[in-house]
Amino acid sequence: MRIPSLIVHEQLRRVGRAGLGAALVLLLAVLVALFAVLPQWQQVRQLRAAVADAGAQVQRLQRGELKVEIKPEQQALDSLRDQLPAQPQASELIDRLYRLARAERITLARGEYSLGVDPRTQLARYQILLPMRGSYPQIRGFLQALLGQLPTLVIEDLELQRKRIGDDQLSGRLRMTLYLSRS
């Protein structure tokens, strides 16, 4: 069925510009509802359903019906934290470091110490920079004793130098990090 164009023109003239504008606004409102509001409304429904599911899971966890699965990486990190000395023990560990140096007859000058937190693991990091002086066998024995008695200590850098070729005494700097748990 075909509508003659004269009838369409007559009806548009009768409705007028105001009616035509209202029809366009109505059409625009329908388009906005279909393409903007409807997807947002569906997303709100999905979020409400997810909140309800999460609430149900929390209740099941509280009743003990559901167990939380811990990732292997998190389990390994938790195990490491349990094995590390606590942050308050840092001074005892530093004292042990100085006792090891005295046992090897190494001279440790005043060092630099800074405490920080590793952003990835949330472990406490005690960074230590120590100037030292001793013979090569003494320094080597000291480093072996450090690694043997302080397993949470990481030697990051060691600089050694002699003033003259014939000197048996070396001077240098030792940079290391002591990892501690924050509990």
SS3 for 91? Answer: helix
Q: Place 144 in a pLDDT band, splitting at 50, 70 and 90.
A: very high
Q: H-helix or E-strand containing 108?
A: strand 107-108
Q: Place 1 in a pLDDT band, splitting at 50, 70 and 90.
A: low
Whether residue 85 is predicted with pLDDT greater than 80 in this model: the reply is no
Whole-Å CA distances, 83 to 76, 86, 102, 151, 179:
11, 9, 27, 10, 11
Regarding the domain delimited by 76-180, which CATH topology (the fold level of the hierarchy) does it fall under?
Answer: Alpha-Beta Plaits (3.30.70)
Parse the chain into domains and list their residue ranges: 1-68, 76-180
Q: How far apart are CA 121 and CA 78, in angstroms?
A: 10
pTM: 0.55
Taking only the tens place, the pLDDT of each residue in 154-173 is 899 999 998 888 888 889 89
Percent of the chain with pLDDT over 70: 93
Taking only the tens place, the pLDDT of each residue in 88-124 is 787 888 888 888 889 989 888 888 888 888 777 777 8
Taking only the tens place, the pLDDT of each residue in 45-71 is 999 999 999 888 888 888 877 776 767
* Closest to 122 measured CA to CA, from 151, 84, 94: 84
CB 134 within 8 A of CB 142: yes
Whether residue 15 is predicted with pLDDT greater than 80 in this model: the reply is no
CB 66 within 8 A of CB 57: yes
CB 166 within 8 A of CB 128: no
Percent of the chain with pLDDT over 90: 15
